[in-house]
Amino acid sequence: MVESAFGILAARFRIMKTPIIAHVSRTEDYVLACCILHNYIINEDGSKRYIPHGFADEEGPNGEVILGAYREEVGPNEGKRYI
């Protein structure tokens, strides 16, 4: 669930796609602002356009994980920093 939620954030908010270069306290503010906007949009929109069916990970009829379409927008390595 956490991976899916963060993936949706990264797909919807460009700042979440790359490492945030800022002071830690400012970075926390950016992430918090994205989370607040994310929740606000879901509450106002009913999530039908913001998170359409199949966009987030879902549980299949046999308990298997059906991967969401947000993964195509984010990509496997976006947001990861290798040293």
Q: What is the pLDDT of residues 23-62, one digit of tens each?
A: 988 999 999 999 999 888 888 876 677 777 888 888 889 9
- Eight-state DSSP code of residue 37: H
Residue 47 pLDDT: 62
Report yes or no on 42 lying in a domain. Answer: yes
Structural domain that includes position 45? 2-74
For residue 10, is pLDDT > 80?
Answer: yes
Residue 81 pLDDT: 44
Distance between CA 38 and CA 9 in Å, rounded? Answer: 7
Report yes or no on 82 lying in a domain. Answer: no
| Three-class SS state of 65 | strand
Report yes or no on 81 lying in a domain. Answer: no
Residue 64 pLDDT: 92
75: pLDDT confidence band, cut at 50, 70 and 90? low
- DSSP E strands in 1-83: the ranges are 58-59, 65-66
Report yes or no on 10 lying in a domain. Answer: yes
